[in-house]
Structure 1
Amino acid sequence: MRSKVEESFTDFFEKWMAQLEECAQLLLIAAENEKDHEFLVNKLTTHYKNYYTAKWAAAREDVLAFFAPVWLTSLESAYLWVTGWKPSTAFRLVAGEGMSEEQMKKVEVLRGKIKAEEEKVEREMERQQVAMADRRMVELARLGGGDTVADVAVKNMLGGLEKVMKMADCVRLKTLKGLLDVMGPTHSIHFLASASMLQIQMRKCGKTQHNLSLITNSS
């Protein structure tokens, strides 16, 4: 049975993805016509910010939902990195054609900074995992303890997971902002269109795969 947060965020995510597809179509048109670039870049970045605002609000109630998201397909879940997309993958979508040597150097500098930030997040995630396997936590689980002791332990664990999730999300947002700051409006449009379509197509493929599995299992 799904929790209240899982139900509400599933509804939110479906609507958010539908809006993302609408934005992606506008980006593809703009890439051909070279019009409204700045407006559309702002529109899509606002759309992404709205996602993280909703995510963080929901995570305050149920952070575990984001480490095993029921609103994603198995294919989407397979590529998750600390509840979302891995920031360094965004650099693969950057088209170098038409960019100046100075811009490319800035992209490489940013890539190095983001890689270091990813490693920091991974170390923090590892620290949280080690804390969960701490001897005192294991003893608490094995022997049981007073409700107050157990509540504090669980609260600390969930707080740690929320912290690492937000760290990862901040790196994702920093990656987007950093790349868009380096690229001009035209390159930004192509980059955002590619990133959006990748997310949309992955979801569609995941749903198709899920439906085929249901048909196969029922036959």
Structure 2
Amino acid sequence: MAQSAELRERLRAIVAERMSRDSAHDLAHLDRVWLNVQKIAPAEANQTVLLGAAYLHDLVNLPKDSPDRSKASRMAATEAGPILADLGLSESEVKATQHAIEAHSFSAGIPPETIEAQVLRDADRLDALGAIGVARTFAVAGALGQELYHPTDPFAETRDLNDIRFSVDHWRVKLLSLPKGMITENGRELAQARAALMIRFLDDFADEIGATVPKAWTS
């Protein structure tokens, strides 16, 4: 079995050839998820499983507007299996890594049943928050051709939220609620701090467009 540093480099080389040009799910995203994993994982977590899951969880990455989006994590887990076996992971480690990959996805709705799956899910969601979260939100909006916000009702006070059309709506629909769904204690603390940064940004954003962020968005 390769040492962690060697295994990481081998994993990075494999995914570098497969990753799309999606700036929200590129090699840099995988590096950040691995960094988040190291910040929140308890000592008893299997580092080999976490390393494999961190770098292979987006092996299949479908666009957010794809009708098959909810299947992407299962597809990634399936493709990851032979890669992990070739890298020398045991059968039990391969299965544990595949479960972590399957369960990390918000849209898949698969409960994370192991420590490693819980850590990966939190680590991946942390990358949707904070300064990187702000950048990723608008990068995705540009890629999908979304409007930044509704021109007359930016915070959906008199309309239904629509995060397919308006990027800022996605903050209310999903992003600002992520801290409440964190499983690990360290993940929750980091998520709360990063969400607070996003709310400060949102206050400035609102001021520049002549609006005010409703309390419902920040409570």
Of Structure 1 and Structure 2, the greater helix share is in 1
Whether the TM-score (by the shorter chain) exceeds 0.5 is: no
Greater gyration radius: 1
TM-score by length of 2: 0.29
Query: Which one has more relative contact order, counting CA pairs under 8 Å at least 6 apart?
Result: 1
